[in-house]
Amino acid sequence: MSILVFIEHAEGEIKKSSLEAVSYAAAMGEDVTAIAIGPVDESILKAAGKAGASKVLHAADEKLEKGLIQPYAKVIAQAMEKEGAKTLVLAKSSLGDPVAARIAAKLKAGFVSNVADLPDTSSGFSVKRSIYTGKAFANVEMTTETKIIGIKKNAVELKEDGGDASVEAFEPTLEDADFAVKITSQDKQTGEILLPEAEIVVSGGRGMKGPENWGMIEDLAKTLGAATGCSKPVSDIGWRPHHEHVGQTGVKVSPQLYVAIGISGAIQHLAGVNSSKYILVINKDEEAPFFSAADYGIVGDAFEVVPKLTEALKAAQN
C-alpha cells in the first residue's frame, strides 16, 4: 500500500515544500506515489523521484491549471482510490490546506496540518504539530483509517539521493459542476524570490528611516540569494508593498535564516517569523524585544553594519 503525496508546482518547477513532503512520506517507510495536477513538463515531475517518490501520477488537463479547490480535491481523492492509499501527505499552503480539508470531508479522513515531525507509531499513530504561531507543539492522535498530513515548511529534511520517478498519465472523472467556481483574476507577488518559498529572508523596519534607504536591504538580500520583507508599519505607510509585510496579519515565513534590520520585534511580527530556523537581528537599540527571540544579534547602526556585512559576504563569495 502506498502513500500519496500531492505536489504543487509553479513557474515550471516543483515547489521545494512539496519535495519536502515527498521526503517526509518516504521516511515513513512506505512506497510513495506523487500526484501532480495541471500542465507541467514531464521531465520536471521525474525529479520527484530524487526526493523519494517511485511514481508520479499526472493529471494534465488544462482546465486544472488554476488551482480550483473542488476539482483538485476530487482528482486527489480519485488518485488515492486508484493507488489504494490510506495516507495523503502534502505541504501546508494556501492551496494545500483547503484542498486537504475538502478531501477529509469527502473521505471521512482525519486531517492534521502544520505537522513538524514524523509520526510516532509506537502505540497508535500520533503526529506533532506546531501551534500558537510556533510557540508550542501538540501531539495529535489520528484514529481514522484514512489520514491526511499537512507538513510545515522546513520541518523535515529534503532528501535528494533518489533516482528519477516514472510518470504516468492520470485521467480523473470530472464534471462541469466541478468547475462551477471560476477564478476571474489573480494578483501574484513578483520578484526573483518569493517570500513563502524563500530559504533566506531579509526584512527592514522603521529603523530604515525611509524608502529611499531600501537599496542596502535589497543589496544584502541579493548577495544572500534572499527574499525581501518588511514590518507592518513599513507597509502601512507605503514604504514597501503590502505583499512584503511579514507578520501575524501578513505573510508567515519559515526560512532557514531570517534577518531583521531596524525592526523592534513587536509580538505581531514575531508571530510571523518564529518558525524560522535561525534569526539574526540588527538594531542599535540593545533593549529591542527582538533580541530575546534572536539566535544571533548585532547591536549597532544598520547604516554602518549592513553595508559592511554585505561587503564581507561579497568578498567571501569571491
pLDDT, position 196: 78
269 marked as part of a ligand binding site: yes
Q: Which one of 154, 179, 204 terminates a domain?
A: 179
7 is in an annotated binding site: no
Structural domain range at position 81: 2-179
Identify the CATH number of the domain in which residue 212 sits. 3.40.50.1220
Q: Is 114 part of any known ligand binding site?
A: no
**Is residue 8 within 8 Å of 15, Cβ to Cβ?**
yes
Give the residue carrying C-alpha cell 488544462. Answer: 62
* Pair 239, 133 in one domain: no
Residue 268 is assigned to a ligand binding site: yes
Are the C-beta atoms of residues 217 and 208 closer than 8 Å to each other?
yes
232-266 residue pLDDT tens: 999 999 999 999 999 988 988 889 999 999 999 99
Task: Say whether both 124 and 41 belong to one domain.
Answer: yes
Q: What stretches in the chain show pLDDT beneath 70? A: 1, 185-192
Q: Which of 179, 209, 239 delimits the end of a domain?
A: 179
Q: Strand, helix or coil at 89?
A: strand
Check whether 283 is labelled as a binding-site residue: yes
> In total, how many domains does the chain have?
2
Q: How far apart are the first and last CA of the chain?
A: 50
Do the domain assignments include residue 42? yes
Is 240 labeled as ligand-binding? no
| DSSP 8-state symbol, 78 | H
Q: Is 14 annotated as a binding residue?
A: no
Residue 256 Cα distances to 6, 13, 62, 207, angstroms: 23, 20, 35, 24
Question: What pLDDT does residue 82 have?
Answer: 95
Phi, psi of 203 (to 5 degrees): -120, 150
Q: What is the DSSP letter of 4?
A: E
| CATH number for the domain that contains residue 167 | 3.40.50.620
Tell whether residue 248 is among the known ligand binding residues. no
Residue 225 sits in the same domain as residue 300: yes
